[in-house]
C-alpha cells in the first residue's frame, strides 16, 4: 500500500511538472493557440527584475470585461468566399498599415459569415485565416448599406512572433501594432479547467500610468500621447512578483488571472479611459465579475502589479530555454517606387518600359516584377525603407550586413547619402544578386537612403533583402 501511494505520488509530481511547464503536446500557430511556441505571448520570463513604480488609481475599478472595446476572433478557411472592404464614410481611404498607403478598397480572400465588430468606437475585429496562416486585423470595421468598410487594415502571421518587427512594423489594430486578439483571454479558455491561461495576457493602462514612449517588443504607440503622465511605456511586460499570495483569492477567474500574471505576465498593448488596468478578453468570454469581493481582489492585483525591467532569459511553450532576439531585419521593400534617374548611370535607364514598376507584395514582404524583356530599374528614396523604430534605428559606427534575397535574376542595391553635403553618396553596395552579402560600418546618424531594385528579364522576379546589425 505504501508502495502504491509512493508510486502515485511520483506520478502526480511528474504530471504536475509537465502541466506547470506546459509540456503537454500543444499545436501552436493555430486558431486556439496563435503564434509560434517561442513568441513572447507563449513564453515565460526567467528571473524577472521589477521596478518599484505603482500603477496609480483612476476613475474606475480594474476589470477583465470591456466587450465594447474588445474584439471577437473569427475563424475562416477556404470554404468561405472573399469580401472587398470599401472606404468608410468620411475617411480618405482604407489605411493599409504595412504598405503605408491609402487605398479605395482591400480584398480579404476568406470572410466568415458571422463577422461582427466590437460596438465601441474602435470597432475592432480579427479574422483568423487558417488556410493562409494569417490574422487579418481591422480598426473601425463597419457595415454600411450592406458593404463592409474599415479605416485601418493590418495583418500578422498566425504562426509568427505576434509582434511587429522593424521591417513589417505594424501587425494589427492595437496601438502597439499588434492584432486585437493577441494575448486575449479567449472564450474557450475561461472554463477549461486549467489554473492559469497558458500565454501572456494583453493589458491596457490609462493616461496617468502610461509614458510617452514605447519599448521592445512594441513597434508603435498611440498617436496622441500628450496627456500621458506615468512611467510605463507601451510594450512593457507587467507581472505579479513571485511572492504575491494568491491563496486568499476566492473568485476563480481572478485567481486564474493572478496565476497567469505571476507566470507569464501581461503586455501593455493600448490605452483606456479612466481605468487603472483592463485585461482584454474576447467578446463572449465569461469574464464578468460583479461582487464586492471580486472588485477588492482586482484592486489587490492592481496594487501589486510591477513593470519588468529585465529578465535572464525565456522558456518557450515547450519548456525550452532561449534568449530573445532583438536584432531583426530593418530593411523594408514598401514603396513608393519610381524611376531613379538621379542615382543611376545612363546605361541603366529604361528604353521601352519606363512606366512599368514592380509592386510591393505585403504578404510576401517583397517587391515583385512581372515578366519583361528589359530590366526594370527603380528606386525608393522616401526614407521608409530603413526602420525608424526607436529601438532598431541604425547607428553610426555599428557594423551591419546587407544580404540580397532575390528571384528570377533580380538585383538589390543600397545607397546611403549625406543630406548635409547635397546628398553626397557616402556608401554604395552596388548591385547584389541573390544571397550576395556585404558588410559595412554605418557612416552617419543623420542620413538619407535610396534603395534600388532591378528586375530580372523574361520571367517574373522579386527583390528583398535582410539588413542586420552584426553583434
Q: Which residues contact 63 (CB under 8 A, 6 or more apart)?
A: 275, 278, 279, 298
Q: What is the CA radius of gyration of the chain?
A: 25
Count up the domains in the chain and report the number.
Answer: 3
174 part of a folded domain: no
Length of the chain (residues): 471
Task: Determine the angle formed by the axes of helices 292-304 and 252-263, rounding to 10 degrees.
Answer: 10
Taking a C-beta distance cutoff of 8 angstroms, is the pair 390, 333 a contact?
no
410/425 same-domain check: yes
- Do 89 and 150 reside in the same domain of the chain? yes
Nearest Cα neighbor of 279 from 240, 230, 313 is 240
Whether residue 61 is found in the same domain as residue 124 = no
The burial of 467, by beta-carbon neighbours within 10 Å (0-12 exposed, 13-18 middle, 19 or more buried), is given as buried
Residues 79 and 110 in one domain: yes
Per-residue pLDDT of the chain (471 residues; tens, 9 = 90+): 433 434 434 443 443 444 444 445 689 999 999 999 999 999 999 999 999 999 999 999 999 999 999 999 999 999 999 999 999 888 889 999 999 999 999 999 999 999 999 999 999 999 999 999 999 999 999 999 999 999 999 999 999 999 999 999 999 999 999 999 999 999 999 999 999 999 999 999 999 999 999 999 999 998 888 899 999 999 999 999 999 999 999 999 999 999 999 999 999 999 999 999 999 999 999 999 888 789 899 999 999 999 999 999 999 999 999 999 999 999 999 999 987 545 454 445 555 556 678 999 999 999 999 998 889 999 999 989 999 999 999 999 999 999 999 999 999 999 999 999 988 999 999 999 999 999 999 999 999 999 999 999 989 999 999 999 997
What does the pLDDT read at residue 433?
A: 98
Shared domain for 245 and 391, answered yes or no, is: no
Pair (77, 58) in one structural domain: no
In a domain, 324, yes or no: no
Does one domain contain both 196 and 132?
no
pLDDT of 89: 81
Determine the Cα–Cα distance for residues 259 and 63; give it in Å rounded to an integer.
16
Domain limits for position 415: 341-469
Residue 10 lies in a domain: no
Distance of alpha carbon 263 from alpha carbon 183, whole angstroms:
14
* Among candidate residues 106, 140, 157, the one where a domain is terminated: 157
Cα distances (Å, whole numbers) of residue 56 to 246, 293, 299: 22, 21, 11
Residue at 394 is within a domain: yes
Q: Considering the entire predicted model, what is its pTM?
A: 0.91
Residue 12 lies in a domain: no
Q: Do residue 60 and residue 81 come from a single domain?
A: no
d(CA 437, CA 432): 7
User: Do 144 and 239 fall within a single domain?
Assistant: no
Together in a domain, 194 and 303: yes
Amino acid at each position: 500500500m505504501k508502495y502504491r501511494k509512493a508510486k502515485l505520488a511520483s506520478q502526480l509530481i511528474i504530471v504536475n511538472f509537465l502541466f506547470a511547464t506546459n509540456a503537454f503536446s500543444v499545436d501552436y500557430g493555430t486558431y486556439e493557440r496563435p503564434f509560434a511556441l517561442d513568441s513572447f505571448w507563449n513564453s515565460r520570463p526567467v528571473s524577472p527584475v521589477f521596478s518599484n513604480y505603482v500603477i496609480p488609481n483612476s476613475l474606475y475599478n480594474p476589470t477583465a470585461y470591456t466587450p465594447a472595446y474588445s474584439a471577437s476572433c473569427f475563424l475562416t478557411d477556404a470554404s468561405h468566399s472573399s469580401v472587398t472592404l470599401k472606404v468608410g464614410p468620411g475617411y480618405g481611404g482604407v489605411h493599409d498599415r504595412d504598405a503605408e498607403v491609402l487605398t479605395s478598397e482591400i480584398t480579404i480572400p476568406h470572410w466568415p459569415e458571422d463577422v461582427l465588430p466590437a460596438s465601441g468606437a474602435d470597432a475592432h475585429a480579427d479574422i483568423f485565416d487558417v488556410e493562409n496562416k494569417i490574422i487579418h486585423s481591422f480598426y473601425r470595421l463597419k457595415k454600411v448599406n450592406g458593404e463592409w468598410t474599415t479605416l485601418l487594415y493590418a495583418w500578422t502571421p498566425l504562426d509568427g512572433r505576434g509582434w511587429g518587427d522593424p521591417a513589417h512594423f505594424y501587425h494589427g489594430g492595437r496601438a502597439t501594432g499588434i492584432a486585437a486578439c493577441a494575448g486575449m483571454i479567449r472564450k474557450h479558455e475561461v472554463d477549461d479547467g486549467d489554473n492559469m491561461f497558458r500565454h501572456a495576457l494583453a493589458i491596457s493602462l490609462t493616461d496617468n500610468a502610461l509614458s510617452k514612449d514605447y519599448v521592445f517588443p512594441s513597434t508603435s504607440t498611440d498617436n496622441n500621447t500628450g496627456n500621458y503622465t506615468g512611467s510605463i511605456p507601451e510594450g512593457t511586460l507587467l507581472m505579479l512578483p513571485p511572492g504575491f499570495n494568491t491563496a486568499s483569492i476566492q473568485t476563480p477567474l481572478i485567481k486564474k488571472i493572478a496565476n497567469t500574471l505571476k507566470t507569464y505576465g501581461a503586455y501593455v498593448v493600448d490605452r483606456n479611459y479612466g481605468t487603472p488596468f483592463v485585461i482584454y478578453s474576447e467578446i463572449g468570454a465569461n469574464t464578468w465579475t460583479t461582487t464586492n469581493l471580486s472588485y477588492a481582489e482586482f484592486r489587490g492585483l492592481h496594487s501589486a502589479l510591477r513593470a519588468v525591467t529585465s529578465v535572464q532569459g525565456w522558456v518557450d511553450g515547450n519548456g525550452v530555454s532561449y534568449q530573445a532576439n532583438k536584432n531583426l531585419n530593418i530593411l523594408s521593400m514598401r514603396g513608393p517606387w519610381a524611376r531613379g534617374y538621379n542615382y543611376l548611370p545612363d546605361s541603366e535607364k529604361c528604353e521601352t518600359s519606363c512606366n512599368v514598376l514592380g509592386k510591393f507584395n505585403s504578404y510576401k514582404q517583397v517587391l515583385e516584377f512581372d515578366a519583361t524583356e528589359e530590366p526594370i530599374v527603380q528606386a525608393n528614396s522616401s526614407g521608409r525603407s530603413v526602420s525608424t523604430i526607436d529601438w532598431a534605428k541604425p547607428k553610426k559606427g555599428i557594423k551591419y550586413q546587407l544580404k540580397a534575397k532575390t528571384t528570377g535574376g533580380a538585383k538589390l542595391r543600397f545607397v546611403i547619402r549625406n543630406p548635409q553635403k547635397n546628398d553626397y553618396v557616402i556608401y554604395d553596395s552596388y548591385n547584389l544578386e541573390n544571397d550576395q552579402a556585404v558588410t559595412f560600418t554605418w557612416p552617419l546618424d543623420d542620413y538619407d537612403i535610396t534603395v534600388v531594385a532591378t528586375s530580372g528579364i523574361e520571367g517574373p522576379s522579386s527583390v528583398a533583402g535582410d539588413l542586420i546589425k552584426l553583434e
